[in-house]
C-alpha cells in the first residue's frame, strides 16, 4: 500500500483487480477545497489510457511488477519462449502479450519481460533494433537522389518502408515503437 503522495512515473497500481501504469501525475492544490492528484494511467494488458483523479493522501494499492532481462529463444505454437538471463528459467509468453514486439524479434534478442506473480504482462523491446532486409525491389537508376521510399521485407517477415537506395541483404536500424526506418546499420 502507498498513498497518492508516493506516486511516480512508471509505478504500477492495482485498481479494482486491474493493473495500471502511471504515465504522468500532477499534484493540484486549488485555492479552496482539498488537494488532489490528477493522473494519466495506462492499462498494462490492453494499453488503454485513461485520466483518473485521486484525493491527496488516499491509500492506493501498488502492484509488484518484476522486470527481468530475458533472451528470446523460439516460438512454440501461439507462445513465445524467453529465457531469464540470470536464472536460465524459461517463460512462455502468449502471442497477445508479446504484441507488436513479435515483428522485430529474432532468436537471441535481449528484451525486458514484465512479470506479476509469475504471469507475463508485457514485452519491452529496446528502442531500436538492427535487422537485415530479406527482400526489396531494386532501386531504379536516377531515383537515388530524390527522397522516395519503397516497401522492404525484414528477416522477421515484417514489412517496412525504406528509402529507394536500400538493397536486399543490407542491415538497417528500425524503430521498434512504430516500425519506421532509422538508417543504415554499420
Q: What is the pTM of this model?
A: 0.72
Asked if 118 and 142 sit in the same domain, the reply is no
Asked if 20 and 42 sit in the same domain, the reply is yes
Residue 144: phi and psi, rounded to 5, are -70, -25
Q: What is the pLDDT of residues 10-48, one digit of tens each?
A: 888 999 888 888 889 999 999 888 899 999 998 887 778
Q: Count how many domains the chain has.
A: 3
Asked if 114 and 143 sit in the same domain, the reply is no
Of the three residues 105, 124, 143, the one that is the final residue of a domain is 124
* Residue 164 bridge partners (DSSP): none
Asked if 37 and 82 sit in the same domain, the reply is no
Its domain, for residue 99, covers: 66-124
Asked if 72 and 107 sit in the same domain, the reply is yes
**pLDDT reported for residue 86:** 92
Spatial distance between the Cα atoms of 78 and 102, rounded to a whole number of angstroms:
11
As a three-state string, the secondary structure of 108-127 is CCEEEEEEECCEEEEEECCC
In order of 12, 19, 101, the CA distances from 69 in angstroms are 18, 21, 15
Asked if 56 and 90 sit in the same domain, the reply is no
Asked if 50 and 71 sit in the same domain, the reply is no
Residue 6: phi and psi, rounded to 5, are -90, 0
**The three grid cell numbers given for residue 155, joined into one nine-digit string:** 528477416
Asked if 32 and 45 sit in the same domain, the reply is yes
Spatial distance between the Cα atoms of 44 and 14, rounded to a whole number of angstroms:
10
Asked if 71 and 106 sit in the same domain, the reply is yes
Q: Residue 183: which of 108, 129, 146, 138 has the closest Cα? A: 129
CATH number at residue 46: 2.30.30.30
**pLDDT reported for residue 21:** 87
Of the three residues 60, 81, 107, the one that is the final residue of a domain is 60
**The three grid cell numbers given for residue 96, joined into one nine-digit string:** 497477445
Of the three residues 60, 86, 107, the one that is the final residue of a domain is 60
Lowest mean pLDDT among 4-18, 50-64, 144-158: 144-158
Q: What is the pLDDT of residues 110-147, one digit of tens each?
A: 999 988 888 888 888 899 999 999 998 886 655 555 56
Q: CB of 56 within 8 A of CB of 36?
A: yes
**pLDDT reported for residue 83:** 95
Spatial distance between the Cα atoms of 119 and 61, rounded to a whole number of angstroms:
18
**pLDDT reported for residue 143:** 54
CATH number at residue 111: 2.40.50.140
**pLDDT reported for residue 154:** 92
**pLDDT reported for residue 146:** 59
pLDDT at 93 over 70: yes
**The three grid cell numbers given for residue 161, joined into one nine-digit string:** 518502408
Amino acid at each position: 500500500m502507498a498513498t497518492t503522495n508516493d506516486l511516480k512515473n512508471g509505478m504500477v497500481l492495482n485498481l479494482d483487480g486491474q493493473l495500471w501504469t502511471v504515465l504522468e501525475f500532477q499534484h493540484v492544490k486549488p485555492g479552496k477545497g482539498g488537494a488532489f492528484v490528477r493522473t494519466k494511467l495506462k492499462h498494462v494488458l490492453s494499453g488503454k489510457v485513461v485520466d483518473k483523479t485521486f484525493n491527496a493522501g488516499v491509500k492506493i494499492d501498488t502492484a509488484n511488477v518484476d522486470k527481468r532481462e530475458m533472451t528470446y529463444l523460439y516460438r512454440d505454437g501461439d507462445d513465445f519462449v524467453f529465457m531469464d538471463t540470470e536464472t536460465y528459467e524459461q517463460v512462455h509468453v502468449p502471442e497477445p502479450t508479446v504484441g507488436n514486439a513479435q515483428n522485430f524479434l529474432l532468436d537471441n534478442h535481449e528484451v525486458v519481460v514484465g512479470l506479476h506473480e509469475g504471469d507475463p504482462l508485457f514485452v519491452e523491446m529496446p528502442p531500436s533494433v538492427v535487422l537485415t532486409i530479406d527482400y526489396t525491389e531494386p532501386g531504379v537508376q536516377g531515383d537515388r537522389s530524390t527522397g522516395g521510399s519503397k516497401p522492404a521485407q525484414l528477416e522477421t517477415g515484417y514489412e517496412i518502408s525504406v528509402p529507394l537506395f536500400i538493397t536486399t541483404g543490407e542491415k538497417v536500424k528500425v524503430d521498434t515503437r512504430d516500425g519506421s526506418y532509422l538508417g543504415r546499420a554499420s
